[in-house]
Chain A
């Protein structure tokens, strides 16, 4: 109360010296707590509602529903293929750019942000228009597309990982000790970007498991598409499956946070943000708010 009153009088006069240590710290404690409480309520009540709506009984039911196994199986296969392709494509590219073409790093950043900027609904109708028939008839076209969607996250994770140590010196040291390019990549570069690769992998897997737009328009029943289609049979099971999907994603994201803080403690410095992409760029997130 006193704090509020003093703020009201402050005006152009210098504040009382006693206020100095916390110039803008404790003036609006009520305001602060009101905002944070309202936010907490808004974010937790739907979660609580979903738990209550589904009921605990619905959770074991998920796994027994028709179509669940095949939908989850397809999503997991897509996640595996997408991750492998993404790492195979992006790791050599990013390492190469760092070593040989550092001048195009800005351009790479701009290109890899595009999949976030172009709405997924627009991208998929374009792909369905131009893709050759042999790709349209297989669900694995989705894996090829998810590599594109994963690029922003993979590129930024790997780029940050490579910037965290002196790549050039290490590579030069390796080659002056007689290592060839493959040995250098395998035994020097990769061990140093393990955390970055883990984070790229986790973000990619989270993206694939949550992606709905492209899969539903490509008419393949991945896990999120199944959840929506299943709603007609049982609302509570769909809600339970949604919570299940959420927890899986959260656990995956926690893996990055934990691995990140573990590796930065080991290296002594650096902060691995969950949100490497959005911090600087235009973007959405791997859970695909879209």
Chain B
């Protein structure tokens, strides 16, 4: 600050060669960053500002605007604590079960002999199905497994109507069944590169040393693949935990999971004094996703040590 004032005041006194050079270099550096300025401003306004606003509002009294922890406290009691628990359990189930199925499918096509066509079909289909979620997916399952759905009809023709046996599409279990539809293909797509990173040479080496299939997986393939698998499962967790549209369209906003509760609060279903509880819940979600992201990054780095 002071330096620039002096420079501006006495440009002629200073060594004429050095000063403009240094200044133009720093000017050039500043100009260099100017190229990404529009992008930076856009991100700051559209992404950083709303996120920071939530973090602040989570600690604000909605009436007086003063600092308080009551939003956080309210967000961990009443119906919100079960919502958080349901949301997390739903995300865990929607990460592990599709994670295993996705791994099996990926393994099946990866090891298929003469499987180029099969592989291409599965990868393209996975790309399509993983891209398919939200409202249309919910309606597909209402048509299949809803009270008057087609599959429900088949099952009740067989004498076993699932709706008479405790099944409903509109609770966390039903949402889980629907989430698998985009989670499984997502897993196939993210785990396949890791499977392909397992070099055939390792298997051959293990077999030459006398290892069988089980031993190979226990001592070579498994340990190499495990961090990648875990990372992909965390990815699936994040995808399920932050999902909103599918569950909202499926259940009409009645399922008690955190994302849906935030939506209901924002839509005005809120008691006096609790206007900022939604922001506290939002902050919880961001923090949980942030923690998951950190572990995901660590696992990715771990996986990258062996796989490429």
Contacts and interface: CB of A to CB of B under 8 A. Distances in A.
Interface of A: 7, 10-15, 22-27, 31-32, 35-36, 39, 42-43, 45-50, 52-54, 89-90, 92-93, 96-97, 100-101, 104, 111, 114-115, 117-130, 144-145, 147-148, 151, 206, 210-213, 216-217, 224, 227-228, 231, 235, 238-239, 241-243, 245-246, 249-250, 253, 257, 273-275, 278-279, 282-290
A184 B61 CA distance: 55
Contacts, number: 301
Contacts of A238: 139
A217 B139 contact: no
Given A12-B210, A50-B144, A125-B262, A119 B181 contact: no
A105 B140 CA distance: 40
Contact of A49 (B133, B137, B149, B213): B149
A282 B235 contact: yes
Interface stretch (B9-17, B40-48, B160-168): B40-48
Nearest to B135: A224
A290 B243 contact: yes
10 contacts: A32-B108, A35-B101, A47-B140, A117-B238, A117-B289, A118-B289, A122-B285, A238-B139, A243-B140, A245-B136
Given A32-B108, A275-B189, A119 B36 contact: no
Interface string B211-234: 111010000000000000000000
Nearest to A24: B111
Contacts of A129: 50, 53-54, 57, 279
Given A48-B150, A121-B259, A289-B134, 8 more contacts: A26-B113, A39-B105, A43-B129, A119-B241, A147-B46, A257-B127, A275-B130, A279-B189
A268 B54 CA distance: 49
Given A96-B36, A121-B242, A282-B238, A49 B289 contact: no
Nearest to B179: A289
B131 A119 contact: no
B25 to A, nearest CB: 15
Nearest to A15: B207
B173 interface: no
A27 B243 CA distance: 39
Contact of B245 (A36, A122, A224): A224
Contacts of B32: 100-101
- Looking at chain A's contact residues, the main secondary structure is helix
B143 A32 contact: no
Interface residues of B, number: 95
A127 B53 CA distance: 8
A290 B143 contact: no
Contact of A227 (B139, B141, B293): B139
B150 A285 contact: no
Nearest to A226: B135
Contacts of A213: 244-245, 248, 263
Contact of B239 (A114, A126, A289): A289
B38 interface: yes
A123 B47 contact: yes
B99 interface: no
B190 interface: yes
B64 interface: no
A28 to B, nearest CB: 8
B35 A275 contact: no
B75 interface: no
A249 B131 CA distance: 9
Given A53-B149, A245-B136, A93 B38 contact: yes
B256 interface: no
Most buried by B among A122, A125, A285: A122
A123 B235 contact: no
Most buried by B among A15, A115, A274, A284: A284
A212 B248 contact: yes
A211 B245 CA distance: 8
B67 to A, nearest CB: 17
A90 B43 CA distance: 12
B69 interface: no
